[in-house]
Structure 1
Amino acid sequence: MGAVYLSLQLILVFGLTVFLLNKYANLRKQHLVVLALTFIGWYFSFLIIFILPLDIAITFYRKCGFDQEVKHNESLYNNVSFEPFECEEPKGYISDNTLLSTWRVIYWLAQLLTWIVLPMMQSYSNAGDFTPTGKLKTAFYNNAAYYGTYGVIFVFLVFYAVGKGVSLSFEHLKILLISASNTWGLFILVVLLGYGLVEVPRQLWQMGNREYRINKAYFDIDKLSTDRNDAEEAVREVYFEAKDALNILQNQRGLARHKAQVIVSKFPSDFVDELNQSKRSGAEHRFTSNSVDSNIVSNDKYLISS
């Protein structure tokens, strides 16, 4: 019965995860690797919500049985009568090995995604290289500082543990990794919680003041407008620079011209049409096709940085 109940929970969480992925992302347009890793992250996160109450119920059930056994032994020792009490078994009761294996899979997959896979994927998606190998190298270089910092801290903890007389077995190293990860998580939690305990009540209090809300709305609108204008100007300059690079390479054959075309194709069509209309109306941009040498433009570093 417990296995059936657990299977129903797994199927329910699976359906919920697929529904949310379909609601907040276009499943047909997303890359398969991105969908798979996002599904795994969401699936096991939701699974914790369903398994944790079951784990607590099983723990209370075992505690009830343990208390009953202790009282029974005490009654035998004191030669007194013992009236057994009923311990209600949870509906989704499963064995210790199944529950422990489930928690281990959830925990170590979360560790792998948090510390290795997701940071690498984020850097990979932000990399401007044209090949998967180049993007992986850029992602590795971007995360090297973080991994180096983590490595130094881990080595320090290893030497500290050795100094305290702890043997470096596999189990002890695993415990050390878990302790370091939990310590970092608790540190971040304390920092964010400390900020939230002060900032959230203050924001709620200030939101009750109508004059404050109006002034804040004026400030936010002005700031958003300035940021939008700056972003549009930056994108406009990048587009003109990429267009100039394509014009320089228009008579060349090879990968450089194709890469320049890839860069230009990334700009939205409505944005390009708006720029072309403004150019026809007399607006000029400061980049010229003769301002950069073709040998420099054909370099991957120049195209990536543009």
Structure 2
Amino acid sequence: MALYIPLLAVIITNFFLTFYLLNRYSNFGRQNLLITISVFISWFFSFNVVFILPLDITSVCNFICNQNHLQPMYLRNNITNNGTDYIGNNQTTTPTISNISLPLSLDHHNFTQIGHNLTASNNSSQIKSNNESQSQQKPTFICAKPWSYVPKNVLQNLWKFIYWSSQLLTWIILPIFQSYSMSGEFTVWKKIESSLKENLKYYCLFGFLFLIFLFYYATKQRLTMESLKIFCISASNTFGLFLLLILLSYGLVDIPRHFLKNYQCNHQYKLNYLYFRIGKINEEKYEANCQLEDLLDELRSYYVKISKENGSRYLMNKLQIIIDKCPESFRNELNESSIDLDLNFELNEKRLVSLNSKINKALQTSHRTEVQYRMLIKQAIHLEEIIKELNDDENSS
């Protein structure tokens, strides 16, 4: 049980870290439970890959060290040079004819026979010496297990579980849940159907490309279950690396440059850069709010039309679902609005679904830009205070 303590400590730490970050950057009460669980699992597995990798490296290094020191010594040190065999640390010299004094009375037959006997005796002595060396040889060094050691079979099964679970989340579950959360439908089954239809075109495109590359691979190598599994893993990793290269192409340059400039402590430069980012995000925030206001005006006209014409209760219930997610200021002014609205249109469920989807995206964009704007303003105020204090110190000195 003690062998699993480092692994359990890492997993438990990652669990609470993921829980904290997910609660920090989202709101459990406002999100769908299934979506929250799927995002939690994906973050949890991603952090586990980062934190379990050092445990795997140290365990493999310990395994390699033990393999190198526990193998038979004579397999590593057996070297023959000029008739001398080095077996372990023992040195034996092979007797040769030139080293033996022979009586002159021996004829050629006796000499040959003696040579054969000497060779056989020498071979038997070498075999005996090898056997004694192997039987007496014991490992003189055993690598100590590091505190982070985890058994090899445990890590192999864990990596397989994390890898294939991540593949399932990446290609099926998360894309479907993402489309599900942004869907404009009003029932669970309708949202699932809409999500599947939206992702079907991507699956068809990826499937078509997969078949093309699979056909090319089949012309070069014989297809088996093992080779097909390797091909699928390679294709998935290639697509992931290509996507990361596209998304991080600018970040790979900008992030090190950003930290380098922060390291130089150029506060005025950072403040000017924050002013630029504030102006840019303020423009995005204004456009997002304008788009949201247009959609809310359209929603208001739907509400007035159904109220005045005594529309069906079914459509009113759907409309109320959309109104409940709108800002509180809009809900308070909905009945008090005296704006002239164009009511010459036909209202049906399809239009409500389209409006609901647009409002979901507009609310998300408005909330994102608002949060980013507040964070940048807070950073700018902090830097302004630092620069002011530094200037005051210089003036006083």
Regarding TM over 0.5, the answer is: yes
Aligned equivalent of 2:7: 6
Summarize the Cα distance change of 1:230–1:17 in structure 2 as closer, same or farther, 3 Å threshold: closer
In the alignment, structure 1 segments of 5+ residues that lack a partner are: none
Aligned equivalent of 2:64: 63
The alignment status of 1:231 with 2:288, answered yes or no, reads yes
1:270 maps to which of 318, 324, 329: 329
Aligned equivalent of 2:318: 259
Counterpart Cα distance in 2 of 1:16 and 1:194 = 28
2:351 maps to which of 285, 302, 305: 302
Aligned equivalent of 1:181: 236
1:228 alignment partner AA: K
1:248 maps to which of 298, 305, 315: 305
Counterpart Cα distance in 2 of 1:162 and 1:131 = 45
1:227 alignment partner AA: E
Q: TM-score, normalised by structure 1?
A: 0.83
Q: TM-score, normalised by structure 2?
A: 0.65
**Greater Cα radius of gyration, structure 1 or 2:** 2
Counterpart Cα distance in 2 of 1:108 and 1:156 = 23
Report 1 or 2 for greater relative contact order, CA contacts < 8 Å, sequence distance ≥ 6: 2
Aligned equivalent of 1:51: 52
Would the aligned equivalents of 1:119 and 1:143 in 2 still touch at CA under 8 Å?
A: yes
1:140 alignment partner AA: L
Return the offset for 1:73. 3.8
| Count of equivalent residues | 294
1:288 alignment partner AA: D
1:138 alignment partner AA: S
Deviates more, 1:45-54 or 1:228-237: 228-237
Summarize the Cα distance change of 1:104–1:267 in structure 2 as closer, same or farther, 3 Å threshold: same
Return the offset for 1:56. 0.5
Counterpart Cα distance in 1 of 2:229 and 2:257 = 42
1:159 maps to which of 183, 204, 215: 215
Could you report, residue by residue, the CA deviation over 1:195-217 in whole angstroms, capped at 9, with x for unpaired residues?
A: 33444466678885958964x55
Would the aligned equivalents of 1:123 and 1:142 in 2 still touch at CA under 8 Å?
A: yes
Summarize the Cα distance change of 1:32–1:213 in structure 2 as closer, same or farther, 3 Å threshold: closer
The alignment status of 1:288 with 2:342, answered yes or no, reads yes
Summarize the Cα distance change of 1:138–1:114 in structure 2 as closer, same or farther, 3 Å threshold: same
In the alignment, structure 2 segments of 5+ residues that lack a partner are: 79-85, 90-136, 356-397
Counterpart Cα distance in 2 of 1:24 and 1:218 = 24
RMSD between aligned alpha carbons?
2.9
Would the aligned equivalents of 1:5 and 1:92 in 2 still touch at CA under 8 Å?
A: yes
1:232 alignment partner AA: N
Aligned equivalent of 1:171: 226
Counterpart Cα distance in 2 of 1:273 and 1:249 = 18
1:249 aligns to what SS in structure 2?
Answer: helix
What percentage of aligned pairs have identical amino acids? 35
Would the aligned equivalents of 1:239 and 1:264 in 2 still touch at CA under 8 Å?
A: no
The alignment status of 1:116 with 2:172, answered yes or no, reads yes
Counterpart Cα distance in 2 of 1:194 and 1:233 = 32
Aligned equivalent of 2:128: none
Counterpart Cα distance in 2 of 1:181 and 1:201 = 28
Counterpart Cα distance in 2 of 1:200 and 1:15 = 28
